[in-house]
Structure 1
Amino acid sequence: MAGTALSAQTPSAPKLSTPQPSAAAMRPATPPISATPAPSPAGSAAPTPPANPAAPSAPASDEITVRGRELADMTPLSGPKEFISPMGEPFRSETDLSGAELWFRKADANGDGRMTREEFRADAMRFFNLLDTDHDKVIGPIELEHYENDIAPEIRVMNTYGDPSKVKVDSDGNVTDAPYPTRLGAGRYSYIAAPEPVLATDSNLDRGVTVYEFITAADARMKSLDHNGDGVLTRDDLPHLRRPNDPRQ
C-alpha cells in the first residue's frame, strides 16, 4: 500500500473580530460644566485676571497733618525767649520760637496741639526726676538749692529782680519809684505767678518736695490754665507773656 504522505498542517489562529464603535460612541464627549476654569494647555500662559482698580491717590501736599489738623494752622506761642514752665523748668530759646513754644512742644508728647492731663503730669514727672538727683523720690534742700542756683538762676528773688539793669529803671536808665511789677522770680517768665515754683509745691513746708506734692501741684496748675474746663490745654488757652521787665505785668 502506497503510503500516503501526510502533510503536517499547522492550524491557523482564529481571527478575532474587533467590535466597531457605534455612531453615538464616536461623538466627542461633552465636558462637564465646572466653576473652575480648565487648565491651560502646556506651554501656554494662564490668563491673568483683571486687576482691581487702584484707589484714587490723595492730592500731593507739603503740609504735615496731625489728627486731621494742619500744623500750619497751629500758631506758635508768642513771648520772650526765656520761659519757666508751670512746674519750674527753664526753657531758653535760641531760635525764632518763644521759650513757651519750646515747652509746649516738649510736653505735648503726641504733637496734636492738645496737652492732656496725662501729658501735663508726664512732663512734670520728667522734670521731677531731673531734680531728684539722688533718686529717693524727694526733692530735698540740697536739690532745691541746686535748682535755684544752677538750673534756673533767673528765678532768684531780690529787691532788684536779680538784675539791676532790668528793674527799677526807666527807658532812659533812671531809677524808678515804687510800685514795682507784681511778679517776682520765676513769675516774670511763667504763666504761674510763683517766685519759686518748685519750692511752692512743698505743701507741708518741710523743705522736701515729694512726688505726691509735685503731682498735686501739677494738677492744680493745669486746672488754673484750663479756662474752659475741657481737661486739655491748647495754645489758645494760654496767656500772652510779656518781657520780664514790662511794668504792665
Structure 2
Amino acid sequence: MRPIHLLLPLLIAGTGLASAAGAQGYLGIGMNQNIFFSPSGQPFRSAANEPYPVMKWFQQVDTDKDGKISHDEFVADATHFFNSLDLNHDGYINSPENTNYETKVAPEIQVVDPRVKQPKNYVAQPDDSGQVSDPTAGRYQKQLIGASQYGLIDEPQPIRAADANFDFRVKSDEWLAATNQRFTILDRNGDGFITPDELPKTPSQLASEMPPPDAKKGKKKRFTGN
C-alpha cells in the first residue's frame, strides 16, 4: 500500500457541505455545467441553476439512507465504478480502458477550468546583496489540474493514482488499497463514517459560488457636490 501522504486531501477554506447551496448561475467562459468528481473519479454534473452535484454522489453511496457513508458503502461504490471501467472484465483497468475513461467518461479531466482559482506559488526574492536564499523556489509550480479541480482529494487522475506498481494498469487489489486510503482521508474525525460536514468544498464548487465578475464591480457613486 502506498504511503497515505501521497493521497493528501485538498485543504480548502470554507465549511463543509452543510451550507452548500446551489450555484449562482455563473459558469465561466465556455462552461455550461457544474462538475463534481467522486473520490474514485466518477463524474457528476448539474446545470447552473441546480445544486452543486456532490450530494448526487453522496446519496448514491449512502444506500441505507442514514445520512452517512460507511466504509462498506464507500468500498461498494468504488468497486462498482471500477467494474464499469473494466470493459473486458479481466480484473484490471488497462491503458485503453483508462483512455476511454479520460475521453468518454470524464473528458473534463483533460482541460483546465477557467473558473478555478489556482494557488499562489512562492517565488524567493533577492536580498539587499542580490542573493536569493533558495534559488529553486518557484521552479516547480503547483497547479490544480484534472480531477483535482472537481474533487475532494488532490488527485489529478484518480485511476492512475491507484497504480501502485506503475505498470500502467490498475488491478482490483490496488484499487481497493487506494479506496481504503481515500476513505481514511475523508473520514476526518475517524469515527468510521463520512458525513457531509466532513467534506471540503472542491475548487470548482467554490468557483461556482462566486458572483459573476460584473457583480463585483460596484456602481460608481455620482458626485453631487455634497
User: Per the alignment, do residues 203 and 226 of structure 1 end up closer, same or farther by CA in structure 2, a change over 3 Å counting?
Assistant: same
Query: 1:153 aligns to what?
Result: 107
Q: Which has the higher contact order (CA 8 A, sep 6+)?
A: 2
Q: Is this contact kept in 2: 1:77–1:235, CA < 8 A?
A: no
Give 1:22-41 correspondences, 5 Å limit: none
Q: Which of 178, 201, 205 is equivalent to 1:217?
A: 178
Q: Distance in 2 between matches of 1:168 and 1:232?
A: 30
User: Per the alignment, do residues 124 and 75 of structure 1 end up closer, same or farther by CA in structure 2, a change over 3 Å counting?
Assistant: same
> What SS does the aligned partner of 2:164 have?
coil
User: Per the alignment, do residues 235 and 244 of structure 1 end up closer, same or farther by CA in structure 2, a change over 3 Å counting?
Assistant: closer
Shift of 1:168: 9.6
Q: Is this contact kept in 2: 1:114–1:232, CA < 8 A?
A: yes
State the one-letter code of the partner of 1:84. Answer: F
Shift of 1:110: 0.9
User: Per the alignment, do residues 77 and 105 of structure 1 end up closer, same or farther by CA in structure 2, a change over 3 Å counting?
Assistant: farther
Unaligned ranges ≥5, structure 1: 1-73, 170-177
Which has the larger share of helix?
Answer: 2
Q: Which of 46, 53, 59 is equivalent to 1:93?
A: 46
Q: Kindly report structure 1 stretches of 4+ aligned residues shifted beyond 6 Å.
A: 178-181
User: Per the alignment, do residues 99 and 179 of structure 1 end up closer, same or farther by CA in structure 2, a change over 3 Å counting?
Assistant: farther
Q: Is this contact kept in 2: 1:78–1:100, CA < 8 A?
A: no
State the one-letter code of the partner of 2:40. Answer: M
Query: Under a length normalisation based on structure 2, what TM-score does the superposition of the two structures give?
Result: 0.63
Query: 2:6 aligns to what?
Result: none
Query: Under a length normalisation based on structure 1, what TM-score does the superposition of the two structures give?
Result: 0.58
User: Per the alignment, do residues 79 and 138 of structure 1 end up closer, same or farther by CA in structure 2, a change over 3 Å counting?
Assistant: farther
Q: Is this contact kept in 2: 1:79–1:241, CA < 8 A?
A: no
Q: Distance in 2 between matches of 1:146 and 1:102?
A: 23
User: Per the alignment, do residues 99 and 134 of structure 1 end up closer, same or farther by CA in structure 2, a change over 3 Å counting?
Assistant: same
Shift of 1:234: 0.4
Query: 2:79 aligns to what?
Result: 125
User: Per the alignment, do residues 168 and 121 of structure 1 end up closer, same or farther by CA in structure 2, a change over 3 Å counting?
Assistant: closer
Larger radius of gyration: 1
State the one-letter code of the partner of 1:195. Answer: P
Shift of 1:243: 2.6
Instruction: Show CA shifts across 1:166-206 (max 9, x none).
Output: 5799xxxxxxxx99773211000000111111111000000
2:59 matches 1:105: yes
> What SS does the aligned partner of 1:91 have?
strand
Q: Is this contact kept in 2: 1:77–1:98, CA < 8 A?
A: yes
Give 1:46-195 correspondences, 5 Å limit: 75=18, 77-78=20-21, 81-94=34-47, 96-156=50-110, 161=112, 166=115, 182-195=143-156
More displaced stretch, 139-148 vs 75-84: 75-84
Shift of 1:96: 2.1
Q: Is this contact kept in 1: 2:35–2:45, CA < 8 A?
A: yes
Q: Distance in 1 between matches of 2:76 and 2:20?
A: 21
RMSD of aligned Cα (Å): 2.8
Unaligned ranges ≥5, structure 2: 1-16, 24-33, 119-138, 208-226
Aligned length: 160
